[in-house]
Amino acid sequence: MQKYYVCPECQGHLMVGDYIILSAKNRQDKRGLLLLHPEIGNYSSIKHPSFKFTAGDPIDFYCPMCQHYLQSRFDKNLVHVIMIDKDRKEYDVYFSRIAGEKSTYQVAGDKTVSATGEHSHRYTYFKIPEELKKYLQK
């Protein structure tokens, strides 16, 4: 079994074939589907040419099944999904909702496992010592 991704709300599977499929809404309130590469640190994606956005635009991401807004509780510019690996270990995965911004974080429990992407320094929550993060929980 390969790794797969699920919605944190409904636990619905977000992968079809080789891509994570998410519903999205751009700055002009137009909706579309985005297919994201499942490898952490690979920022390639596929979308229909009519679904437009430019670098720097915020994109709202939703579960395509339950329409849950996937915004992180830590930062309004991060999206949250759950990754389950081949050993059935769960990780919280956070990535930037800002088009063109390359920031992804893989978290196990309350420990950051990896931070990837050239813009990952922008989200300082994941650099705070683990023993202090509990004071920031909402």
Per-residue pLDDT tens over the stretch 8-59:
999 999 999 999 999 999 999 999 999 999 999 999 999 999 999 999 999 9
The Cα–Cα gap between 57 and 59 comes to 6
Q: What range does the domain containing 91 cover? A: 4-50+57-136
* Number of folded domains that form the chain: 1
Q: Is 121 exposed, middle or buried (0-12, 13-18, 19+ CB in 10 A)?
A: exposed
Straight-line distance from the first to the last Cα atom of the chain, in angstroms, rounded to the nearest whole number: 34
Mean pLDDT of 86-111: 92
For 132, residues 6+ apart whose C-beta sits below 8 A from its C-beta are: none
For 29, residues 6+ apart whose C-beta sits below 8 A from its C-beta are: none
Q: Which of 29-33's residues contact partners 24+ apart within 8 Å by CB, and which partners?
A: 33/64
Lowest mean pLDDT across 33-37, 102-106, 118-122: 118-122
Nearest to 118 by CA among 101, 96, 105, 106: 101
Please state, as a whole number, how many other Cβ atoms lie within 10 Å of the Cβ of residue 71: 16
74 against 118, higher pLDDT? 118
Angle at 58 between CA 55 and CA 63, to 5 degrees: 120
Q: Which residue has the tokens 């999205």?
A: 24
